[in-house]
Chains A and B, each alone.
Chain A
Amino acid sequence: MSDVVLNNIGKTYPNGYHAIPSIDLTIEEGEFIVLVGPSGCGKSTLLRMVAGLETISQGDLMIKGAKVNDKEPADRDIAMVFQNYALYPHMTVYANMAYGLKNRGESKEVIAEKVTSVANMLGLEELLERKPKQLSGGQRQRVAMGRAMVRDPKVFLFDEPLSNLDAKLRVQMRVEIRQLQRKLGTTTLYVTHDQVEAMTLADRLVVLNKGKAEQIGSPMALYNKPATPFVAAFIGSPSMNLLPANLDEQGICLSDRLSLPLVHDHRGSIIWGIRPEHLEVVDEANADFALRIQAVESLGAETLIHGTVDLGVKQEPMVVRLAGPHWPEINSLLWLKAPLDHWHVFDAVTQQRL
């Protein structure tokens, strides 16, 4: 049975702002869904509607087959981890985790047992008597997760839970969250604007753009076959190179100087894309075009080369990603080949993949 169903869900704020026009999403039991998108695209709004912290303006929200649109947050059997953790500052770690159970009228013994077992799972045994302000950022994050886990809810909701942590801790907690979720098998809805977090955590990704779901699918599906230029640019780092072009009998015509042969029946303006890691360095004879190098970023394991492709009328920026260290000279030319099977072609008008 599917666990959470969003059926034509929309949100209009009281001030008239139409944050989410309509979203359909069916989440299977135990699935890890990541909502990803740029700032202000409506991720939190959607999550908060599922939590019951924001009213649903339109559509139906079902959890385990029951419509919960008008249910209080407490009656939806969900738990949420907030970006700022929202730990109760005047309560100990133990009391923070016990609060929800206490409100549900559990007995002292049951509460103690549940809190202790979750605390053991998260390595919080030593910290139970501390107040939140006596904890480090990572520990607070863990307590917030513990508070969500202890009630054993049907659905976990996370709103950018790692964005207040430093880079190293973020990676560590990311792995930990994934492991815990696998172990507990709880359906999870997770919001982030970090595409690496999104790719590594998700069973399925929902890419949101201005309140619309641009594409829903597995991380690899989104990487290999992005449905729109927006998804293509958002998923993958560095971003896909996207160039405006025209499709005609000869193929993809980037300018009157540069065409790439392709047989396709679509005619008209398109967007042509290739990922930085799919461009190959070749000799001049086999090259599709040349890149004038402007900057080189050496990361040891890989090198990012930024430059422009001369299209006569204009210069189009492009990034190439090469394995290992390279030291090409600035302003020199790098001859590149774009293998056909890695091309992405989108209709410039409908913004859909061709």
Chain B
Amino acid sequence: MNLWQGAVLMSVYFPHKKLPYLLVLPQLVITLIFFLWPAEQAFEQAFYQEDAFGLSREFVGFDNFVYLFNDPQYYKSIWVTLVFSFSVAFSGLAIALWLAVMADRVIRGKLTYQTLLVWPYAVAPALAGVLWWLLFDPSMGPIALWLQYFGVDWNHFLNGDQAMTLVVISATWKQISYNFLFFLAGLQAVPRSLIEAASIDGASPFKRFWTIVFPLLSPTTFFLLVINLVYAFFDTFGVIDATTQGGPGVSTATMVYKVFNDGFIGLDMGSSAAQSVVLMFLVGVMTVIQFRYIERKVEY
């Protein structure tokens, strides 16, 4: 629906001019109080240096940013974020696609299978984190014990790579349901006759998938890639906090986690605010990408 149609519809459904504004008012107020106001605060804060007790502050211009971009720790957190996000997006997409292909083949018990796969999406992120934290707990988690039985020395409290694996698993797990639903819908939209034509054309099932089905899914895949990256970038604080709290050291502290860590644990409000501003900028860029490329559909 474009704006013009929207306007026409509005005048049809809302003969009184003020009613529509009244109806969006709560949304506007919420956006104002919980988003725009804090954003403005952070933006302002980013140009000040505050003492640890928040008693006095001093305008420092771009010092917070200069300091930030000269801090090797910040580049480390960018690197962690990239590794984390692309691992989450890639494994989330790959596993969901595989499950969707399987589900598309299942004939009996289809609904049960699909319902089970959708459930994880309903679990709160922090809860998912706790769940995986328990499963992988080095001293009592069943998966950790099982890994140790096979000679893998699992201890994500000490091993940064294992900690990263754990947060990736916890964050991915939840996304799989979402990706799965989209892939399944995408698969079911591939016309049967195309697969049949390809099989007459002598393509093996494997080849049919990679040369016909997968390319036809590319709009779905691209859409999900962006959605998953955005999720991994900005929406995984809860999962990380519940599993590794950014540790050991800073090996799982993503950019978002670092904002929290520096601001509320390290009490360096200026730097934390500057990092928030960088993140806000990133959100903006991602949103533009999302609208520019996804709305316009991927051409194949």
Question: Which residues on A are within 8 Å of B, measured CB to CB?
Answer: 51-53, 72-74, 78-80, 82, 84, 86, 88-90, 99-100, 103-104, 147, 151
Known A-B contacts A89-B216, A90-B216, A90-B300; the reply to A82 vs B193 at CB < 8 A is: yes
CB atoms of A84 and B191 under 8 A apart? yes
User: What's the least CB distance linking B206 to chain A, in Å?
Assistant: 12
Neighbouring A residues of B10 by C-beta, 8 Å: none
Across-interface contacts of B212 in A (CB, < 8 A):
88
Task: Kindly state whether residue B203 has any CB partner on chain A within 8 Å.
Answer: yes
Contact with A along B160-200 (1 / 0, CB 8 A): 00000000000000000000000000000001011011111
* Contact (Cβ within 8 A) A103 B193: no
B142 at the interface (CB under 8 A from A): no
Given A89-B216, A90-B215, A51:B200 Cβ within 8 A: yes
8 A Cβ contacts from B265-286 to A: none
A-B interface contact total, Cβ < 8 Å: 56
Expressed in whole angstroms, the Cα–Cα distance for A53 and B195 within the complex equals 10
In the complex the two chains form, is B203's CB within 8 Å of A86's CB?
no
A82-B193, A86-B193, A88-B194 as given contacts; A72 in contact with B199, CB under 8 Å: yes
Q: Give the chain A neighbours of B54 by CB distance below 8 A.
A: none
Residue of B nearest to A76 (CB): B200
Q: How far is the CA of A74 from the CA of B218 in the complex (A)?
A: 26
| Closest Cβ neighbor of B190 among chain A residues | A89
Interface pair A100/B202, CB less than 8 Å apart: yes
Taking the nearest CB of chain B, how far is it from the CB of A142, in angstroms? 16
**B207 close to A (CB within 8 Å):** yes
Q: Among B216, B218, B300, which residue has the most Cβ atoms of chain A within 10 A?
A: B300
Q: Is the CB of B295 closer than 8 A to any CB of chain A?
A: no
- Please, which residues of chain A bring their CB within 8 A of the CB of B193? 82, 84, 86
Q: Closest residue to B199 on the A side, CB-wise?
A: A73
Residues on B with beta carbons closer than 8 Å to the beta carbon of A99: 198, 201, 203, 211
Q: For the complex, what is the distance from the CA of A82 to the CA of B191, rounded to whole Å?
A: 12
Contact indicator B300/A89 (Cβ below 8 Å): yes
Q: Which residues of B contact A82 (CB under 8 A)?
A: 193, 196-197
Chain A residue at minimal CB-CB distance from B193: A86
- Chain B minimum-CB-distance residue to A72: B199
B191/A104 in contact, CB under 8 A: no
Q: Decide: B191 and A86 in contact? CB cutoff 8 A.
A: yes
Cα–Cα distance between A72 and B196 once the two chains are bound (Å): 11
Cα separation A73 to B193 with both chains bound (whole Å) = 13
**Subset of 24 A-B contacts with CB under 8 Å:** A51-B196, A51-B200, A52-B200, A53-B199, A53-B200, A74-B202, A74-B203, A78-B200, A80-B197, A82-B196, A84-B191, A84-B193, A86-B193, A86-B196, A88-B212, A89-B216, A90-B215, A99-B198, A99-B201, A99-B203, A100-B202, A103-B207, A104-B202, A147-B201
B203 near A103: Cβ-Cβ < 8 Å: yes
199-232 of chain B: CB within 8 A of chain A: 199-203, 207, 211-212, 215-216, 218
